[in-house]
């Protein structure tokens, strides 16, 4: 992963563009969806009620539509998370980012956490499920236990944060998560990923996907870096 090129297109395919703020108007959601389509990011992660809107507006683009489950606190019942997952899938979502039950994890009830995850994974019926740990609320042992519980429940990804919990992704937590799960489980960094330098550091540490609302800033900087590298290469070639 560290050897991958720094091009705007390559970086865009690592990004889940977050459109989750509760106060966003329909017009603001549409503008963000158009931004995602313009940059051809991997996916958008939208509020559950916006899934049909996103699916319709992004039709014909390579951008996938994901949404959140049990967001942002993770404290809804397993039955509610399952119902929310089924509705999201019926509306056209292809990826689900669920918040695990943070309080149960901190209480040491890892089995309940894994069971909660497994129920959503089963409802997802083969679609990608990313499990949000909300690492800002956890100590190191809990981060490790949460990541392991997510894998035990069948998650495709473990993810750091909602972006609404007062803290975001850190290299320290990402290293703990990477060590806790098998190579089959991928990593998503979310919360505080606002610049290209941070993204590249985390990509080098093994992160596979990034949740951010700073997509345009990151990709504009990647585009500049790409243009600079191309210009430098042309200058080098002309010196021969």
What integer best gives the mean pLDDT of the chain? Answer: 94
Convert the pLDDT of each residue in 27-38 to its tens digit. Answer: 999 999 999 999
Predicted confidence at residue 134, as pLDDT, reads 98
The mean-pLDDT minimum among 13-22, 60-69, 174-183, 226-235 falls in: 226-235
Q: Report phi then psi at 158, rounded to 5.
A: -110, 140
H helical segments located in 46-182: 51-57, 78-90, 102-106, 110-124, 140-152, 171-180
Classified as helix, coil or strand, 4 is coil
Q: What is the pLDDT of residues 72-95, one digit of tens each?
A: 999 999 999 999 999 999 999 999
Catalytic residue numbers read: 97, 159, 188
Q: Residue 2: what pLDDT?
A: 47
190 pLDDT more than 90:
yes
Token pair, residue 81, equals 């998370």
Cβ–Cβ under 8 Å, residues 25 and 44: no
Does the pLDDT of residue 169 top 70, yes or no? yes
Residue 200, Cα to own-chain centre: how many angstroms?
15
* The pLDDT of residue 240 is above 70: no
For the purposes of burial, counting CB atoms within 10 Å of the CB of 168, is it exposed (0-12), middle (13-18) or buried (19 or more)? buried
pLDDT band at 1 (very low <50, low <70, confident <90, very high): very low
pLDDT at residue 167 in the model: 84
- For residue 228, the model assigns a pLDDT of 80
Cβ-proximal residues to 125 (8 Å cutoff; 6+ apart), any chain: 89
Mean pLDDT throughout 184-206?
97
Q: What is the pLDDT of residues 54-68, one digit of tens each?
A: 999 999 999 999 999
The arithmetic mean of pLDDT across residues 103-112, rounded, is: 98
Under the banding of pLDDT at 50, 70 and 90, the label for residue 234 is low
What would be the CATH architecture of the domain defined by 8-235? Alpha-Beta Barrel (3.20)
């Amino acid at each position: 992963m560290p050897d991958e090129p720094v091009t705007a297109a390559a970086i865009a395919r690592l990004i889940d563009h977050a459109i989750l703020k509760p106060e966003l108007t329909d017009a603001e959601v549409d503008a963000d969806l158009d931004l995602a389509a313009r940059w051809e990011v991997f996916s958008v992660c939208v509020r559950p009620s916006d899934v049909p809107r996103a699916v319709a507006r992004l039709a014909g683009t390579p951008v996938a539509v994901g949404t959140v489950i049990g967001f942002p606190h993770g404290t809804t019942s397993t039955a509610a998370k399952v119902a929310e997952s089924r509705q999201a899938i019926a509306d056209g979502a292809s990826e689900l980012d669920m918040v695990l039950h943070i309080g149960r994890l901190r209480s040491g009830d890892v089995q309940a956490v894994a069971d909660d995850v497994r129920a959503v994974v089963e409802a997802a019926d083969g679609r990608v499920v990313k499990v949000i740990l909300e690492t800002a609320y956890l100590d190191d042992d809990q981060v490790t236990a949460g990541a392991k519980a997510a894998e035990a429940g069948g998650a495709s990804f473990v993810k750091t944060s909602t972006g609404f919990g007062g803290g975001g992704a850190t290299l320290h937590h990402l290293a703990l998560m990477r060590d806790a799960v098998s190579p089959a489980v991928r990593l998503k960094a979310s919360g505080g990923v606002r610049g290209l330098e941070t993204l590249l550091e985390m990509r080098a540490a093994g992160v596979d996907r990034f949740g951010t609302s700073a997509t345009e800033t990151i990709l504009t900087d990647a585009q500049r870096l790409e243009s600079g590298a191309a210009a430098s290469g042309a200058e080098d070639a002309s010196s021969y």
